[in-house]
Structure 1
Amino acid sequence: MSRPSGARERLTRVNVYDCQDPAERTTGLDEAVNALGRGALVVLPTDTVYGIAADAFDGRAVAGLLAAKGRGRQMPPPVLVGTVETLDGLATEVPAVVRDLVKTFWPGPLTIVCLAQPSLAWDLGDTDGTVALRMPADETAIALLRRTGPLAVSSANLSGQPSPHTAAQAVAYFGDKVAVYLDAGRAGGGTASTIVDATGERLTILREGALSRAELAAVAPELAEEAEPTADGDTSSGAMADGDTSSGATADGASSGATADGASSDGASSDGASSAGATPDGGTAAAGEGDRAR
């Protein structure tokens, strides 16, 4: 693939794998699995924007992800999953309507903020007991997730900077701070995931992204009208963590309980998005979460 001339030299000094070439994709996935297993960071494509990933169950790796982005624990990353069934392993008290949304829009640009399973041995940051989950519609991301299990993923940008749509843009942000870059060409839609908070008495859209309110309301009629703000003016269950794209997202990446990360975390946001705040996918959430996951 052609790359911006300014990034070409840096690409030769980091581990970038062309996932549009079958043989190199296989090698890149193997290297990414190994890197994540030893606590290193990996950049991967999603259907929204490029995300930066860490093993969701390795607290040091997640802390390293946040540090690389210039973000604190109050902006936890969202979690990307490789199968719909993983939802029940990570979330509890999942409403039937959320299952309908997931059945309809996963894999795809929908981040759901749920109550996290209390028994999970992980530390994503200050999540207030929530987790933002998304299953990306990207073959390379899914291939990786099905080998590694859930990954904490935020948009592959420095906090407050634009979300990357190419691996070269991610390299410009992180260089050799990331062990492996999986380059699958320009990332999908470029619009952050939509984040829905399912932790309250009724569903709430924290950020309207790639999926419109009308599309969601066709499956979940209660989303047809915007929820009334709470006393403090917030309609989220804790807000969003990273501005990326999660609800605490993404990815891009969105977590509830934080603020999103601006990422767009998705993700993003995400796509791309964080458990209490983001999605690796690159959009901007209502609480300033443009970074998340995707």
Structure 2
Amino acid sequence: MNNLTTRIFVTDRTELDKAACVLAGGGLVAFPTETVYGLGVDACNSDAVARLYLAKGRPSFNPLIVHIGSIEAAQQFVDFDDTALALAQAFWPGALTLVLPLRHDSTISPLVTAGLGTLAIRVPDHGVANRLLAAFGGPIAAPSANPSGQVSPTKFAHVRDLMSGRIDGVIDGGDCGVGLESTIIAMKPVPTLLRAGGLPVEAIEAALGYNLALTGETSAPSSPGQLASHYAPKGTVRLNARSVETGETLLGFGPVEAVINLSSSGDLVQAAAGLFDALHQLNAMGAARIAVSPIPDHGLGRAINDRLRRAAAPR
């Protein structure tokens, strides 16, 4: 898988049509979304999905998120109850993934769902992703476009550096605006937070009128993004650091002196957008020990802390 010629596509219609043809032929194409770059594959082609798992080095028991162009298109593959439909209408397109019952007549590859009876699905809020979906005309399964367990890509350069030679193509769509993967909610038996992400939990709970149930980490995920050790830089990570020890590089937040500061003003939106790029920069610097300033655990801070805890997990 490391000797492919990886084509670079730009974002005009002709190029996106070419990228869609690569997907239709069973190829792997990375593309930008508002959250992170996804590694796209035809969600109905099991051979192509198997190639995706191989290219990422991703465990096949870890299900994938499927991207689709609209609620109406999603209804071909999953069943919505009234609550799920209300959340989709409120937050799609956007950084919300819903885990919903798979329709009995769905054509989604069982490799995408890891054999489960549910499907993680969302409508992205990104012009390039939406135009690619329209050109392809079907569901695209797309985990983050990086080797499994490593830092997610939010820039074209991240994908190029991490995945060239492993995949068929990359669409150069610039930087991702949100910078964190989508928030994942399972709808059965009650709305349950599976992963905090680019849509604040508080916004979802306000729409529901009640708090989400919570679930723990697991070695047998019921959705993407639940593995305990994930998003890992090369160096070890120490969280909630109020001082810097000898040999550590500080990833700062707020008014602290740091080699890299996620937001000197304490802006969680800015910090979320820059988190993964900061981890890529720390890798490039060769930082062997990383200390991270405390980050408030509310709004997007909840998702930032989730990613940092996984980055710091033993591996």
Q: TM-score, normalised by structure 1?
A: 0.72
CA 1:260–1:167 in structure 2 vs 1: closer, same or farther (change >3 Å)? Answer: farther
Mapped partners of 1:116, 1:96: distance in 2: 16
Aligned counterpart, 1:277: none
User: For residue 202 of structure 1, what is the aligned residue in structure 2?
Assistant: 190
Q: Counterparts of 1:65 and 1:287 in 2: how far apart (Å)?
A: 26
Q: Answer 1 or 2: higher relative contact order, Cα 8 Å, separation at least 6.
A: 1
Q: Deviations over 1:236-255 (max 9, x none)?
A: 9x9636xxxxx335xxxx8x
Structure 1 runs, 4 residues or longer, greater than 4 Å off:
259-264, 281-289
Aligned-residue offset at 1:176:
2.8
- What's the counterpart of residue 212 of structure 1? 200
How big is each residue's C-alpha offset from its partner over 1:146-203, in whole Å with a ceiling of 9 and x where there is no partner? 22211010000101110011122112122133222111111121022111001x2211
Contact 1:239–1:287, Cα closer than 8 Å, also in 2: no
Deviation at 1:121, TM superposition (A): 2.9
Distance 1:206 1:189, change over 3 A: same
Which stretches in structure 2 are left out of the alignment for 5+ residues? 233-302
Paired with 1:27 and 1:64, the residues of 2 have a C-alpha distance of 26
Q: Partner residue of 1:141?
A: 129
* 1:262–1:87 distance in 2 versus 1, CA, 3 Å: farther
Residue 207 of structure 1, CA deviation? 1.4
2:8 to 13, 16, 26: 16
Distance, in Å, in 1 between the alignment partners of 2:180 and 2:85 is 23
Aligned to 1:176: 165
Cα contact 2:77–2:107 (8 A) shared by 1: no
CA RMSD of aligned residues (A): 3.0
Q: TM-score, with normalisation over the residues of structure 2?
A: 0.67
Query: 2:31 matched to 1:44?
Result: yes
Percent identity, please: 31
Q: 1:194 to 1:83 in 2, by over 3 A?
A: same
Instruction: Flag structure 1 segments of 5+ consecutive residues without an equivalent.
Output: 1-12, 20-24, 242-246, 265-280, 290-294
Kindly report which structure 2 residues correspond to 1:94-105, keeping only aligned pairs within 5 A, or say none.
Answer: 94-105=80-91
Which of residues 32, 55, 69 is equivalent to 1:68?
Answer: 55
Aligned pairs for 1:147-158 within 5 A: 147-148=135-136, 149-158=138-147
Once the two structures are superposed, residues 193-238 of structure 1 have per-residue CA deviations (whole angstroms, 9 ceiling, x without a partner) of 111001x22110111212222200121123x2544x6xxxx499x9
Distance in 2 (CA, whole Å) between partners of 1:282 and 1:210 is 9
Note the C-alpha offset of 1:285. 7.0
